[in-house]
A and B are shown apart, each in its own frame.
Chain A
Amino acid sequence: MAPRTPGGLSSRNGRAAAAPEARPAAAGPAAPDTATGVAGIAPTARMRGLTRQFGDRRVLDGLDLDIAPGEFVALIGRSGSGKSTLLRALAGLDSGVTGELSVAGAVAVAFQEPRLVPWRRVRDNVCLGLRASDPKSVARAALEEVGLAAQADAWPLTLSGGEAQRAALARALVREPSLLLLDEPFSALDALTRITMHHLVLRLWAHHQPAVLLVTHDVDEALSLADRVIVLAGGRIAYSCLVSIPRPRGRDHPELTALHTRLLSELGVATEGD
């Protein structure tokens, strides 16, 4: 396939052919950027030499990354590391990216702010742009799934932060995406709601089996959710590790603790005194 800029993601035709039966289970040391843990299956998202320049600054600098069907990838990095730029490129919101980028199937996004359309009721938000024969009933089912059936007729501005974010998740998942992009969707929520949302996301992921790219700056969150955690620095992948511990993951699992320390040091947090 010829290199294309992601301005026209023409390869988004239909669902990814391969059903993500096999959850990436590979354990082990830091894997290369393109190793998804699933061998022999065409990736849902494929990036090669992805570069984005703002003036003199290269926010993405020749990034290579594959995301396998059904894989849950967490992307962490300090602010300005390019993680949001990468997500926007995958979402088709940035036409200034160069390099090769292809996504098989539909892409859906849940943003940091829920971005519900305030003048449409919750159900109509979920329906928005939905090409289905009976969008209302599809939306109702989706809202039921996120536990928001009772608020289907509510105005978005009456929802709490957690409810709004659940509605946003329903709106994203109702499109049956093969790639679900989560842009720090839990960072504005209180700690208890965040935990509930983590469980919800894992449940939805297990049910719908999209590939997920979660952008976060919370190492704990990344470790408790993802199959693979990637550290982005200077527009490149600085570190990548597979997390093979079965879910739900206890926080004090020794392997997680070790990974936690490692990730923090990769982020430049643990090294004090500079």
Chain B
Amino acid sequence: MPGNTPTGLLPARSPRAMTGRRAEEDEESSGAAQGGSQSALPAALGRKRPGRSRSWYRLISPLAFLAAWQAVSMSGVISQQKLPPPTEVWHTAMTLITTDSPAYGTLQGAMAVSLERVAAGFALGAGTGLILAVIAGLSRLGENSVDPLMQMLRTLPLFGLIPVFIVWFGIGELPKVLLIAMGAAIPLYLNTFAGIRSVDAKLAEAGQTLGLSRAEMIRHIILPGALPQMLVGLRQSLGVAWLALVVAEQINASAGLGFIISQATQFLRNDMIFVALLVYCVLGLLTDALVRLAERKALVWRRGLLEG
């Protein structure tokens, strides 16, 4: 919205820094739904492609953090055994990639196994959550049959289920995938359901006067209307999926990033643990970036608001 542009509201000392900050605020206030607004606000300020310069600014604090970590570790304030410096972590990672050790396997091999788990669990959970949300969102009968169960599941402590899952499904891949699926299903269900229910009733009325059939109404009005909220749920689901993966991989894994961590714990290799944790981090960030990209494509009509 033109009124949202901060040109007249904030001192225009540094437009770049300002657009960055503003985009962040915007994202928070709108439930992190607008991947689009981030890149659109600078456009509203008449700047062409400030994305690169802005992301440069965002690198300062992580880099400063790494430098501080290195300094603390090297100075011996905390022993390198407990907190290996980033340089050592990097070195360990390289070694792990290039050598296939019997104790740990390779890093890329572990990544592939973990990615497969999270992909399977996420696909299963997200698919189920989405279908249930559409069923619950589109009819009162669906809501009454699906929603109470989902609300019950929501309050169930996910990781408290691990012992039960082990008893039911053993210690193979199945309990891990199911744990991830359960974690991923809930946020996507809740957000999609809420998204469907919050579709502007006035638009639905307009659709009715335009003679849309029920199927057309769902396809053209309701589902696209629920999409922004659904994408918020998708990002939350991905976050939970990664979290569930980390926990699930502690269940007697014989491969994957969690396996590296449990091996490293036995051999007191903190550097190895840090490598695995950082890989979780990077993978999580990458999948989040993918969803943001999808958001940017799917919600292009919102960006239009700011370009006009």
Contact = CB atoms under 8 A, between A and B. Distances in A.
Contacts of A113: 202
Nearest to A177: B209
A18 B221 CA distance: 35
Contacts of A155: 300-301, 304-305, 308
**Dominant secondary structure of chain A at its interface with chain B:** loop
B216 interface: yes
A115 B221 CA distance: 11
B304 A129 contact: no
Given A155-B301, A157-B308, A158-B308, A117 B221 contact: yes
Contacts of A107: 209
Interface residues of A, number: 25
A26 B221 CA distance: 44
B116 interface: no
Contacts, number: 65
Contacts of B157: none
A118 B210 CA distance: 15
A270 interface: no
Given A111-B202, A113-B202, A158-B305, A119 B210 contact: no
Contacts of B307: 158
Interface in B190-235: 202-203, 205-212, 216, 220-221, 224-225, 227
Interface in A115-140: 115, 117-120, 128-131
B206 A115 contact: yes
B212 A129 contact: yes
A115 B212 contact: no
A93 B202 CA distance: 11
Interface in A91-118: 91-93, 107-109, 111, 113, 115, 117-118
Given A111-B202, A117-B220, A175 B308 contact: no
Interface of B: 202-203, 205-212, 216, 220-221, 224-225, 227, 300-302, 304-305, 307-308
Interface of A: 91-93, 107-109, 111, 113, 115, 117-120, 128-131, 154-159, 171, 175
7 contacts: A107-B209, A111-B202, A128-B207, A128-B212, A129-B210, A131-B211, A157-B308
Q: Which 5 A-B pairs have the closest CB atoms?
A: A158-B308, A155-B304, A129-B210, A115-B206, A157-B305
